[in-house]
Amino acid sequence: MYGARIIVVKDEQTVGKWAADVFEQVISRKPDCLLGLATGTTPLTLYRELVRRYHRQMLDFSGIHTVNLDEYVGMPPENHQSYRYFMEKNLFQQININPKNTHLLNGLAGDAKSECRAYDRLIDELGGIDLQLLGIGQNGHIGFNEPSDNFYLQTHEVTLTEETRRANARLFAEDEIVPSQALTMGCGYIFAARKILLLAIGSGKAKILQRALFGQVTPQVPASLLQLHPDVTIIADEAAGRLLPECATESVS
C-alpha cells in the first residue's frame, strides 16, 4: 500500500471516534470543504459521533457541502430505504448543515445519463472532494461500483450483483423489494478525492479488506484501487482487521 495509514481499533464505537477525528481535522482546516459521504451500517457510529461533537460545539457544518456516493434507482427520497432518507435521519437533520448544500443522486431521474453527468459537473464545480468516506461491500465494491472488467471513472447507472442485493436485503423488510439498479459515483471521482477514509467493521469484512489492501489491483475488487491513492486512511475494528499483516497496521485502543 502506497500512502496508506491502516489503523486497527478495538470495536465499532472506537472506529466512529477515530473517523470523527479525521473529519474534524479536515473541517477545521477547511470549514467550507466538500465531504463525500456514504451510507450502510458501517458509518453509523461515525455519524453519531459527529452529531455529538456538533452538540458540544466542537464542529460547525454551516459552510460544509456534501455529495453522497450512491442512490437506488426508482427510490423516492421520502422512502425510508432511500439513501436520502438515511442521510437526513442519521446526520443532516441533527447538525447545522444547510440543506441546499447536501447533494445526493436522484434515483427518480427520468434520464439517468444526464443525472450522472450533472452530478460529475457538480463535484467539479464544488472544487472536487476534500474527504471521501467509504465502506466496503463484501465483494469489494465501493459506493455501488461492483466488480467488473473496468474501473468506471464517472458517475453511472449499475445493475447490482445478486451478492450485493442479498447483503442489502438484511436492511429491507420481507415484503419490500430490494432494488436491482442504482446510480453511483464512479471510481475516478472517488479516486480524485484529496483524502480517502475507508471504514470496515465486523468479521464479514476481514477477507475482502485483506484482498483489497494487499491483493492485486483489479476492477474485480474495486476497493483495490485505493492501493494507488496517495492519502488513504483505513480504520477497521479488530474483527475486520484480523487478517491484515501486523507490520502494516497500527493497533490502538
Least separation in angstroms between residue 51's CB and ligand GLP is 18
Measured N-to-C along each axis, helices 44-55 and 12-29 cross at an angle, to the nearest 10 degrees, of 50
Hey, which bits of the chain come out as E strands? Answer: 4-9, 34-37, 65-68, 70-72, 102-103, 131-134, 156-159, 181-184, 195-200, 232-237, 250-251
Looking at 12, 115, 130, 146, which residue is catalytic?
Answer: 146
Residues forming the site for ligand GLP (CB under 6 A): 38-42, 69-70, 135-137, 143-144, 164, 168
For residues 47 and 61, which CB has a smaller minimum distance to ligand GLP in the complex?
47
Helix/strand/coil for 66:
strand
For residues 43 and 59, which CB has a smaller minimum distance to ligand GLP in the complex?
43
Looking at 12, 49, 68, 70, which residue is catalytic?
Answer: 70
Least separation in angstroms between residue 127's CB and ligand GLP is 23
For residues 16 and 135, which CB has a smaller minimum distance to ligand GLP in the complex?
135
Beta-carbon-side half-sphere exposure of residue 15 (alpha carbons within 13 Å): 28
For residues 135 and 241, which CB has a smaller minimum distance to ligand GLP in the complex?
135
Cβ atoms 155, 105 nearer than 8 A = yes
Residue 71 is among the residues annotated as catalytic for this protein: no
Q: Which residue has the cell 492485486?
A: 216
Least separation in angstroms between residue 29's CB and ligand GLP is 25
Residue 60 is among the residues annotated as catalytic for this protein: no
Cβ atoms 156, 179 nearer than 8 A = no
Strand partners for 14: none
Residue 70 is among the residues annotated as catalytic for this protein: yes
Looking at 65, 141, 156, 229, which residue is catalytic?
Answer: 141
Residue 141 is among the residues annotated as catalytic for this protein: yes
Least separation in angstroms between residue 58's CB and ligand GLP is 25
For residues 98 and 144, which CB has a smaller minimum distance to ligand GLP in the complex?
144
DSSP-assigned states of every residue in 67-126: EESEEETT--TTSTTSHHHHHHHHTGGGTT--GGGEE---TT-S-HHHHHHHHHHHHHHT
Strand partners for 251: 8
How far, in Å, CA of 21 to CA of 107, rounded?
32
Least separation in angstroms between residue 62's CB and ligand GLP is 26
Residues marked active site are found at: 70, 139, 141, 146
